[in-house]
Copies of this chain bind each other. A is one copy, B any other.
Amino acid sequence: MLEPNTLGHVLTRSARLLNARVVAAVHAEGFTEVRDSWLGMLRHLDAEGVRSTVLAERLEVTKQAAGQLVSELERKGYLERIPDPTDGRAKLVRITERGLQAWLAGLQAFRALETELDSVLGAHLLTTLRDGGGALLAHLETLENH
């Protein structure tokens, strides 16, 4: 009815398919437990380790939510928690070797998808979407902060 919020729909749906495709590729590499939500988490890790509170901020969820996700990934062997030498309360979340392999598989799958899309849709389209989407996002975020 009454042509609708198509922009939101298009964005939501293509993002979902994009992620689903990457995850499927990672599954095919043998990491069958990986789920969509992990991508968001792994994006924010680094080699030195990150506190889960920082992850929570970056993901914009509560620290409990971040902690739950980290615990699950830890159980599955993709992450590990080590004590933070500079603060007795804190722990640093680090990616394991297995986690790194899965991440690399996903990265590779994304690159491949990217090249394929570029060749089919034109090399400029993905760049345009990324940059345009970035600009849109930036403005929407300033709106959020009143």
Q: Output the residue of A14, A19, A46, A106 with the most chain B CB within 10 A.
A: A14
One of A27-35, A61-69, A73-81, A125-133 at the interface: A125-133
A118 to chain B, nearest CB (A): 11
Q: For the complex, what is the distance from the CA of A132 to the CA of B123, rounded to whole Å?
A: 12
Q: Mark A114-146, 1 if CB is under 8 A from B, else 0.
A: 100100110001101110111111011101100
A83 beta carbon closer than 8 Å to chain B = no
Q: Is A89 an interface residue (CB 8 A)?
A: no
Known contacts A6-B130, A121-B135; can you find 13 more A-B pairs with CB under 8 A? A2-B103, A4-B107, A5-B106, A7-B129, A7-B130, A7-B133, A8-B19, A9-B40, A14-B137, A14-B140, A17-B137, A17-B141, A117-B136
What is the total number of copies of this protein in its complex?
2
Contacts of A134 in B (CB 8 A): 10
Q: Are B143 and A132 in contact (CB under 8 A)?
A: no
Complex-state Cα separation, A128 to B6, whole angstroms: 13
